[in-house]
Amino acid sequence: MKVTVYKKSIFSCEIDRAFKAPILGDATRFLNGYLCQPPIIGFENDENWGLLDGIRYPIIQGNFFIKAHRIFKDKIIEKNNNRFWKWELTNFTSPYLFFAYRAIGSWSVQKLSHRKISILYSYSYFSKNLLCHPINWLFVKIQLKGMMNKALIGIKTQAESNEDFYYST
């Protein structure tokens, strides 16, 4: 069973910047924590990130209850240049993600006019079982939705800037 949330936005930049920003940008600047979610402070084994089948392991900041650690495996599963990305989260290691076994994120861009790009951003989290589904639903509809709203602001800032992206392909 899956639970999905969608976010839409309009970016004022070239389509290639809107396309690249969520994957090639500095994610530590937009995955910087929300409510009970600690911020991402870095990545491990990210040498092929940005390529199809590229992987990385996000590291979350520790706190009083948990130490800094890899939170999951991030893998790019689809890429269509200047159209869409799809990535998969698996191997959840954080105790607070006990209810899910997989998540799929997607990012689609569409040119509306010169420097006006439509964005569709989504995440689907898959419940481990029927008993975990209500917790998964609450997480996606409250926690994840808020994280995505916050991330979208940071992604937009990077896309609309002239700064180089963190990764290159």
Confidence at residue 96, expressed as pLDDT on a 0 to 100 scale: 80
Range 7-111+123-160: architecture per CATH: 2-Layer Sandwich (3.30)
Confidence at residue 4, expressed as pLDDT on a 0 to 100 scale: 98
Between CA 167 and CA 33 the distance in angstroms is: 21
SS3 23: helix
Kindly report the backbone phi and psi dihedral angles of residue 153, in degrees, each rounded to the nearest multiple of 5, phi listed first.
Answer: -65, -45
Smallest Cα–Cα separation from 60: which of 45, 79, 88, 41?
Answer: 41
pLDDT tens, residue by residue, 7-20: 999 999 999 999 99
With beta carbons less than 8 A apart as the criterion, state whether 26 and 134 touch: no
Confidence at residue 34, expressed as pLDDT on a 0 to 100 scale: 73
Q: Which residues of the chain have pLDDT under 50?
A: none
